[in-house]
Structure 1
Amino acid sequence: MLVNPAILLNLLFAYSAFGGSEEEQGVKYANKCEVCKVLAIELEARLDETGKTHDVLEIGYSVDDIIPKKKKEYKKSELRLLESLENVCERILEYNIHKERTDSTRFAKGMSQTFTTLHNLVDRGVKVELGIPYELWDKPSVEITTLKTQCEDLLENHEADIEDWYNNYQGKIPLIQYLCSERALKEQNDSCLYEKGDPGKDLGKQEKKKKKELNNKGIMNNNSQSAKQEL
């Protein structure tokens, strides 16, 4: 089976250094911004899943069942939050590292373009040697397993913030803004939240809207002061 040597060479170069150091392998771990972004995306996705039910919980205990139990909607309950938080970082193991990308979308679900090409070559009968068994090609990479651990650490450190958002700001402020921009990454690099074409873009729009409103307010105040001076 013939294949373009240049394409194969480039693909193999990207994934052939498994026996070398992490730097030689092109390993680049997630930074704090990327970790928080992924956690916020996955938790909101999980909350969307658990929030579709209209179940009502009965809260309290009565020996004689004379006193009626309190009722609370499941989607507003602490139980829903706990069930949504449970194993939320495990969902990251469904991600793959997309080395052909340079921004935070390098962490994404679905097979990377590079590995899709490599699998297609194998299916066409081309022998591809990466230095690891073929059955391990689709196993989570070191970047992904580390991202899962980073997610768990961030979750542990900011569980109280998430609970506060869930009880008081859910539906009012995006989690990615409340947790990441305003807390976990406060006065730190949060540029990954504003990248074009991903969930962070809405946060960027909101920030621009706030600035525009403040500018308009400043212009109105200036016009008002000028009018008073003229009077």
Structure 2
Amino acid sequence: MYTNYMCRMCPLKRASFLLFLGIAILQKTFADVSSDGVIMPSKCEVCKYLVVELQSRLDETGKNKEVIRTGHGIDPSKKKQVDYRKSDLRLIEAIHEPHVCKRILEYNLHKERKGSLRFAKGRSQTMDTLHGLVDKGVKVELGIPYELWDSTSVEVAHMQRLCDTIVEQYDEDLEDWYYNHQDEDLMKFLCKDRVLPQDDQECLVEEFVPELEEDEEKKKEETEKKPKKKNKKKSKKNMKGEEGTADDENLEAKVKKEEL
């Protein structure tokens, strides 16, 4: 019955139906993934790391003091001199060569961290531990082949695709910032003021503080407090010692009197 219905449909309707069916299957796939505990990146997270990577690229080329000459012909008066830091070339290289969103694929999922901080470069603590066990000869079963342990996660791949979409939709805003507002914070200019609704901006202020640094600060505080306690104990012992010597002297004097 389904086959007969498809045959009777005109080519245009058939194509539309297949497109709708494909979207429905894709949506169901993402829904199933989410039901398995996968949390897809929010728009806030995507915009945040897009800006982080774009700003990083611009910082890499911002120290270049090269002057670019534009125009044609031999006459130097017809050629213009443009500072590379404000040139079209720098913007094109930062966004498209290669595309800035490809840098998102360098991120991994750190499930031990909360919020947007779960996305970070480098191997997560969990995966470090698991790889360490394997290196020691321990058999670890994750349900996937060992060679796929460090492959791009569903969340990161999805974030990279959404990053492409934001760059495409807000390319004019990026150009406006680059040519006219470089003195303004790009995170605020793009994400806070243009891309994100007000109720989805919390991730922009989340910053990662390594646990090792926190532990070191706590240890410093503890070590600073401990000597004070020890000094008090020592002073008490010294007082007892002084009292003990005084008692001994009195006892010796008493014995001498009795002998006399």
Which residue of the partner structure matches residue 65 of structure 1?
75
Task: Give, in angstroms, the shift of residue 68 of structure 1.
Answer: 4.3
Give the whole-Å Cα distance in 2 for the aligned partners of 1:145 and 1:66: 49
Which residue of the partner structure matches residue 167 of structure 1?
179
Task: Give, in angstroms, the shift of residue 183 of structure 1.
Answer: 0.6
Q: Which amino acid aligns with 2:175?
A: E
Which residue of the partner structure matches residue 138 of structure 1?
150
- Structure with higher helix content: 2
Q: For 1:81, which of 91, 104, 111 is the aligned residue?
A: 91
Which residue of the partner structure matches residue 206 of structure 2?
195
Which residue of the partner structure matches residue 46 of structure 1?
57
Pairs within 5 Å for 1:1-231: 21-23=32-34, 25-62=36-73, 64-65=74-75, 67-86=77-96, 87-170=99-182, 172-197=183-208
For residues 76-100 of structure 1, the C-alpha deviation after alignment (integer angstroms, 9 at most, x for no partner) is 1011001100110000111001111
SS in 1 for 2:81: strand
Task: Give, in angstroms, the shift of residue 161 of structure 1.
Answer: 0.7
Structure with larger Rg: 2
Give the whole-Å Cα distance in 2 for the aligned partners of 1:160 and 1:108: 28
Give the whole-Å Cα distance in 2 for the aligned partners of 1:31 and 1:66: 51
Task: Give, in angstroms, the shift of residue 102 of structure 1.
Answer: 1.8
For residues 44-101 of structure 1, the C-alpha deviation after alignment (integer angstroms, 9 at most, x for no partner) is 0010112222211111112x43644111111110110011001100001110011111
Q: Is the 8 A contact 2:110 2:120 kept in 1?
A: yes
Task: Give, in angstroms, the shift of residue 187 of structure 1.
Answer: 3.2
SS in 1 for 2:120: strand
Give the whole-Å Cα distance in 1 for the aligned partners of 2:188 and 2:180: 14
Task: Give, in angstroms, the shift of residue 188 of structure 1.
Answer: 3.8
Give the whole-Å Cα distance in 1 for the aligned partners of 2:169 and 2:198: 17
Task: Flag the structure with more relative contact order, 1 or 2, with Cα contacts below 8 A and sequence separation at least 6.
Answer: 1
For residues 6-37 of structure 1, the C-alpha deviation after alignment (integer angstroms, 9 at most, x for no partner) is xxxxxxxxxxxxxxx42454211100000000
- The alpha-carbon distance between structure 1 residues 188 and 66, as it changes in their structure 2 partners (threshold 3 A), is same
Q: Is the 8 A contact 2:40 2:158 kept in 1?
A: yes
Structure 1 stretches lacking a partner, 5+ long: 1-20, 199-231
SS in 2 for 1:22: helix
TM-score normalized by the length of structure 2: 0.64
TM-score normalized by the length of structure 1: 0.72
